[in-house]
Amino acid sequence: TISQYLPIGCPPLTITAKAGPGGYIDPEGYIQIPCGWSKTFNVTADLCHTISDININGYNHLGPQPSPFTYTFTDVQANESIEAFFSIKNYTVVSSAGAGGRIDPSGSIKATCGSNLTFTITADHCYNISSVQINGTNIGPQISPFTYTFTNITSDQSIHADFSEMQYIINTSVTPTAGGFLTPTGPVTVRCGQNQTFTTTANQCYNITDMIVDGTHLGSQGSPFQYTFPNVQSNHDIQAVLNLKYYPITSSAGSGGNISPLGTTMIPCGGDQTYTVTPYLCYRIQNVSVDGVFQGPVVQFVFSGVLSPHTISATFEGIPYIITSSANAGGTITPLGNTAILCGQNQTYNIEANSCFNISNIIINGVSLGPQSSPYQYTFTNITANQAIQAVFIQRSYSINSAAGTGGIISPSGITTVPCGLNQSYTISSNLCYNISNLIVDGVSEGGKVNPYVYNFTNVQANHSIQSLFALQGPYTIISNASVLNPDGSLTTVTGKISPEGVRTVICGGSQTYTMVSTYSEGKTDYVLSTVLIDGIPIGIINPYTFLNVKAGHTITAVYTTTCELVTGNIVNSTGAPVGGLRVELYDNSVFQRYTISLPDGSYSLPAPVSSASHLSIKLPNIVTTPTWTSSTSHLHYLGPGNTQDSTGEWLNDFLINTGGKCHAFIDWTGIGVSR
C-alpha cells in the first residue's frame, strides 16, 4: 500500500531497535521504513534505573540521557540500528552526630535504589539525644539508644543527631530568710557527674540549728557550714534552719525611785531595749550605771543592737531645787541669780525700783503678775520644782515739744518722748538766706545762735519745750566797673563799658546779670574786652556774666586792652575735644604777670599790655592730680604780620606783641587730658 510512495530504485530499509535490562525502547525490534523516511524511537528507564547510553549504528554512543529519551532517524537512506543501555540507581545517605554521642554507621553511605538502611544513635554517659534531623526536619528528642530506618530509598538522604548534657536542679532554702544565707542560692543547675558545694552562713544574731539534705536532718552546725553533693546524678534539696539568739538584761534601782522594766528581760539579738528611770517626789536621779560604766543622771537609756548580756542600775538623791531670779536695768531683786532650796522649803524675794523707774511686771515661772508698787515682796512656798522669778523695770518718760518758725527747721520736730534721766539733743538749722534769730527754751529766750546750732536737754526729769525763730539775711552789694590794663599792671578806670555800672543791691539768693562792651575806640586806638575779674579773680571772657544765688557781696571788673595787646587761643586734647578748667599763665621777661582759666569750650583770653622791650612767655602747666593734663604742643600765629612759632611741652617762650606789626597773638595748645 506504500509502494506508490517509494522512490524509484530505493528498496525498503530496516531499523533495528533493542533495549537492555532495566528499561525499554518503543518501537522495539526490526522496523522497516521506506527509503528517505524518518522514524522516532522513545527510550524509557524502569523505576530505580537510568539510561546509561544510547548506541546508534554500533559506533555512535550518545552517553547517558534523561528518561524518557526521544531519538529520530531522518531521511533514512540505509539500514540503521539503535540500542538503549540501562544501569540501576545508587543514592547517598549522609549520617553525622554532634558532641556527646555517636551514630552508626557514620559518614556517607551508598544505598541502591529501593533498598533499606538502618542507623543507631547512642548518647554518651550524662548526655541525652536532644534532637534528630531527617533530611533537615527535626523529629525532636529521642531516648538513647534510638534506631531509625530509611525504607525503599529513592533519593539521597541525611540524618543528624545532636546531644545535650544532662543537668540536675538543686533547690536551696533558708528558714527564716532573715537568719542568714545559703550560697549559691538555688535553684542551682548542676551538670551530670559534677560536684556541687553549698555554704551556709548564719547572720550575727542567728545559729544553724539544723541542716536538712534531701529530707535527712544533719542537726545543728557551726557557721559557716559547707555541704557537697558529689557526682550529681539526680535532683536534690538542701535547707538551712536558723534560730534567733536571745540575751538577758538585768536592771535594778536604789531607794528614791524606780527603773522600768525592772529585773531580767530577755532581748532578741540585735534588738533594742529602752529603760526609763523615774525618781520619787523630792528625789532626783544621782547616776545610772550600764555594765559598770556611769552614764550620769539620765532619765532614759536605750540598749541598741544587743549582742551580749548587759546590766543597768539607777541610784537617787534628794533634790536641792534652784530658784533663778533676774532683773533688767532699773532696779534690784534680792537674792539675785541661782539659789539652791531643799525640796518643800520656802524662799522670799524683795524687788525695788531705782530712781526714774517703776516695777512694770513680775513674772513667776513665765506667768505675768503685772505692775507692782515698789518695794515689792514675793514668797515661794513648799518648793517642789525649780522656779524662776523675773523683775521687769520700765523707765519713766517725759515729753519735749519742739517747734520752728519760718526760715528753718528743728530736729527732731514735734513731741519727743524722752526716758527719765536721759539726754535729748535738738539741731536747729536755718534755711538759705536766714539766720537763727532767737532760741526760746521752756519760755525763756536765749537770743540768736550760729547756724547750725545744737541744744542739749541733759538728765531729763520733767516736760520741756523748745522753739527756734529765724530772720532773713541780706541784701548784698555788687560793685561793677571797667578798666584798661596798663603795661605796668595798673588799671585805669573807664566808664560806660559795663551795664549796670556801679553799686547794685541784690537780695539773698537773688541773681544779677552784667553785660560788657566787647570793643570800643578812643581816638585812634581800638580796645577789646580781654578778661573779666570776679572778686579780683580772672575768669576769661564770659559776657554777659550772671551772679547766681547771691549770698555775699561781690565785685566785677571788665578789663580792656588794645586790640593788639591780647593773647587768645584754644586748648584741645588728642581726640580734638575741648579742655576747660586749665590755668594759662603769662610771663614778661620770665616774670609772672597774670593767669586765666580756660572755659568749657577750651578757649582762653589773656590781656598782654607790654612795653617796647617786652619778651613774653606762655605756660600751660602739666597737672599730675586727677584728672591729669600733659601739654604736648603749641602753635603761635598773629592777627597781623609776624612769624608763626611751634613748641613742645609746657612753655612757649620769647614772643613779641607790638602795635607796629605783631598784633594779637593766637596760641593753640594740644595735650593729653580732659576738662577739670
Residue 639: per-residue pLDDT: 79
Q: What is residue 79's predicted lDDT score, i.e. its pLDDT?
A: 95
Decide if pLDDT at 612 tops 70: no
The pLDDT confidence band at residue 590, using thresholds 50, 70 and 90, is confident
Same-domain check for residues 74 and 205: no
Which of 1-5, 54-58, 304-308, 374-378 comes out lowest in average pLDDT? Answer: 1-5
Query: pLDDT over 70 for what percent of the chain?
Result: 98
Cβ 262 vs Cβ 311: under 8 Å: no
> What mean pLDDT do residues 566-592 have?
92
Show which of 165, 189, 218 is a domain's final residue: 165
For range 209-218, the mean pLDDT: 96
| Residue where a domain stops, chosen among 347, 363, 395 | 395
Residue 649 one-letter amino acid: G
Same domain, 625 and 503: yes
Summarised one tens digit per residue, pLDDT across range 562-575 is: 888 889 999 999 99
Give the integer Cα–Cα distance in Å for 170 and 187. 6
Give residue 660's pLDDT. 60
Structural domain of 461: 397-472
Residues 481 and 588 grouped into a single domain: yes
> Which pLDDT does position 281 carry in this prediction?
84
Query: What is the pLDDT averaged over residues 5-11?
Result: 63
Instruction: Give tens-digit pLDDT for 416-448.
Output: 999 998 999 999 999 988 999 999 999 999 999
Are 455 and 561 part of one and the same domain? no
Q: What is the CATH number of the domain that holds 662?
A: 2.60.40.10
**CATH number of 385's domain:** 2.60.40
Alpha-carbon gap, residue 450 to 428, rounded angstroms: 9
- In this structure, are 498 and 646 located in the same domain? yes
Number of folded domains that form the chain: 7
* Stronger pLDDT, 269 or 186, i.e. the higher one: 269
Average pLDDT, the chain: 92
Residue 206 and residue 222 in one domain: yes
Residue predicted with more confidence, 431 or 8: 431
625 and 612, same structural domain?
A: yes
pLDDT value at 7 more than 70: no
Torsion on CA atoms 229, 230, 235, 237, rounded to nearest 10: -10
Q: Is the pLDDT of residue 99 over 60?
A: yes
DSSP readout, 67-115? SSEEEEE-S--S-EEEEEEEEE-EEEEEEEE-TTEEEES-EEEEEETT-
Query: At 292, phi and psi to the nearest 5?
Result: 85, 0
Q: Give this prediction's pTM.
A: 0.40
How many CA atoms, within 13 angstroms, populate the side-chain half-sphere of residue 154? 5
Residue 613: its pLDDT value, please? 60
- Report pLDDT for 439: 96
Task: Looking at the structure, tell me whether residues 80 and 94 fall in a common domain.
Answer: no
pLDDT band at 665 (very low <50, low <70, confident <90, very high): confident
3-state secondary structure of 672: strand
Residue 235 has pLDDT above 50, yes or no: yes
The phi, psi pair for 148, rounded to 5°, reads: -135, 135
Is a pLDDT exceeding 80 seen at residue 610? Answer: no
Q: Are residues 295 and 387 in the same domain?
A: no
Contacts of residue 360, Cβ cutoff 8 Å, sequence gap at least 6: 371, 392, 393, 394
**Residues 493 and 610 both lie in one domain:** yes
pLDDT at 659: 60
Domain boundary among 281, 296, 318: 318
530, 655: one domain: yes
Dump pLDDT digits (tens) for 67-86.
Answer: 999 999 999 999 999 999 99
The pLDDT tens digits of the residues spanning 533-545 come to 999 999 999 999 9
Question: Tell me: the pLDDT tens digits for 16-68?
Answer: 999 999 999 999 999 999 999 999 999 999 989 999 999 999 999 999 999 99
CA-to-CA distance for 241 and 209, rounded, in angstroms?
6
Q: What pLDDT score was predicted for residue 640? A: 72
Predicted local confidence at residue 1, as pLDDT: 37
pLDDT at 524: 79
Give residue-wise pLDDT tens across range 317-335.
988 899 999 999 999 999 9
Q: Are residues 429 and 487 in the same domain?
A: no
- The whole-angstrom separation of Cα 115 and Cα 107 is 18
CATH number, domain of 423, equals: 2.10.70
